[in-house]
Each structure stands twice: as C-alpha cells, then as structure tokens.
Amino acid sequence: MRVLTVQNNEEMAQKAADILLAQVILKPDCVLGLATGSTPLGAYRSMAARNKEVSFAQVKTVNLDEYCGLDATSPDSYVSYMRENLFSHIDIDIANTYLPDGMQEDVSAACNAYTALIARLGGIDLQLLGIGHNGHIGFNEPDTVFQMDTHCVTLSKSTLDANAVHFARPADMPKKAITMGMRPIMQAERVLLLAGKEKQSILQEALYGPVTPQVPASILQLHKHVIVIYVAA
Ligand code: PGA
C-alpha cells in the first residue's frame, strides 16, 4: 500500500487525475472502476480540463453503485452525475459506460447482471474509491460479513445523513441502492482510494485497525496494490 499525504483537495484531485490518466495512457482499452460523491469531483474536473491529452475512445467504465428507483431522467441518479461531471467532457463512448440498473423490478436479476457484466469485461484495471464516514466503500455498508458480489443494500443512517444534502429534496433520497461487492474491488489490478480531511479518523481505522466487515474499507489492507491519497488534517 502506498499512502500519499497532500495539503488540500486540489492537490488530491491533481494527483488522482494524473494516476487515472496514466492508467488510460498505459492501457487505452482499460476498464476503469469509477466512484461518485463529493470526493472524486475535483479529479473528474481535472480530467475534463485535460481532455485533449488522453483519449477515452476505447475505455470502458463500471461504476460502484446506483440508487434504487433512479435512472438517467433523475438529476440525483449516479448515471446523471457521471454524465454531468465526467462523461460529457471526454471522448468516451457512452455505450461503454456501465452502472447498476436501479430501475429493474427484479433487483436480484439486476445484481446478477452487473456481476456478470464485470466478469465479461475481464475485471477492473483501476478502481477509484472514496470512503464513507462509516468506512463503506461503494455502498458496502458495515455488516457481519464482507459481501462479495453485487447486492442490494439498505443504506445506513450515516450514509443517508451524509448524502441527503445532495438531493434537491432530501426526503426524495432512496433508502436502498445496488452496489458492486468486494470481489471485483479486491480483484482490481489497482485501487486508488481518496479521502478528504473530514475522513481522517475512519481512514486511519480502515488502514491500520483490524480487518473487519464492520469497517468495510479495512479489507483493502489485503489488496496487493492500493494507492491512498488523503488530505492532511
Ligand atoms: P463523499 O462520499 O465523497 O461524498 O464524501 C464518499 C463515500 O461515501 O464513499
């Protein structure tokens, strides 16, 4: 594990964008695992600003998660977030960008389809992650076991409290989501974990405390190639 400390969000964004762009230069047809939330926004902005430097024409992306009941017509969905913050600014083929289908009535079929899709793509070359205040990665919430494959989760109070602010009407925030499980994250060639200074204490617990499903990100201690970039408090 490589742990890089930076002074502010801007520096974190630049370094993260450098690593993501380097991955695409190194392997133009790579599979990027992407994240949503506030933390990666700066990195996406920086990638968008440098969109003449690197072509995403052959890149495929799989996102970590999506809310149940939201699709591209909802400004609060993660499919909308990705289009607005990254995909519409780079030359990626939108047909090569994937998120779990939060609209499918048969949720377990949607989960199985996403697991199968990631396998069909041959796994993930570089997985970008944020970390929740409760240690979640994707929407893998604290649990009694590490959930390995795509599954539907009931979002924890900590996650609902943290994310409701992103909704025009917080009461509209779905209480359930579909998330990638730990297997594709742990099988990713590389993982890039970003954390702002407000995540300092949970990040220390995840990186140096016991490996436990109660702190889902702690599983990354067992990953062969993790880069952590965090903003010093
Ligand atoms: P944030 O969320 O980037 O909005 O803080 C990170 C996460 O919950 O994984």
Known catalytic residue: 163?
A: no
Q: How far is the CA of 186 from the centre of ligand 1 (A)?
A: 19
Catalytic-role residue among 63, 66, 85, 136: 136
Evaluate if residue 233 carries a pLDDT over 90.
Answer: no
Contact yes or no for 66/34 (Cβ under 8 A): no
Per-residue pLDDT tens for 100-133? 999 999 999 999 999 999 999 999 999 999 999 9
Q: Is the CB of 130 under 6 A from ligand 1?
A: yes
Please indicate whether residue 172 is annotated as part of the active site.
Answer: no
Give the per-residue pLDDT at 193. 98
Residue 135 beta carbon below 6 angstroms from any ligand 1 atom = no
pLDDT digits (tens, 9 = 90+) for 2-59: 999 999 999 999 999 999 999 999 999 999 999 999 999 999 999 999 999 999 999 9
CA distance 132 to 152: 17
93 is catalytic: no
| Ligand 1 atom nearest 133 alpha carbon | 8
Mutation probe of ligand 1 site: the residue of 76, 127, 131, 140 with most atoms within 8 A of C-beta: 131
* Any ligand 1 atom below 6 A from CB of 37: yes
Q: How far is it, in rounded angstroms, from Cα 41 to Cα 74?
A: 19
- State the CB neighbour count (10 A cutoff) for residue 162: 18
Instruction: Give the integer Cα–Cα distance in Å for 179 and 139.
Output: 5
How large is the average pLDDT for residues 89-100? 98
Judge whether 136 counts as a catalytic residue: yes
- For residue 17, the CA-to-ligand 1 centroid distance in Å is 17
C-alpha torsion sign, points 115, 117, 122, 124: negative
What CA–CA distances, in Å, run from 142 to 51, 134, 217? 37, 7, 9
* Ligand 1 site, residue 221, Cβ cutoff 6 A: no
Q: Please name the residue ranges forming H helices in 102-199.
A: 107-120, 157-163, 182-187
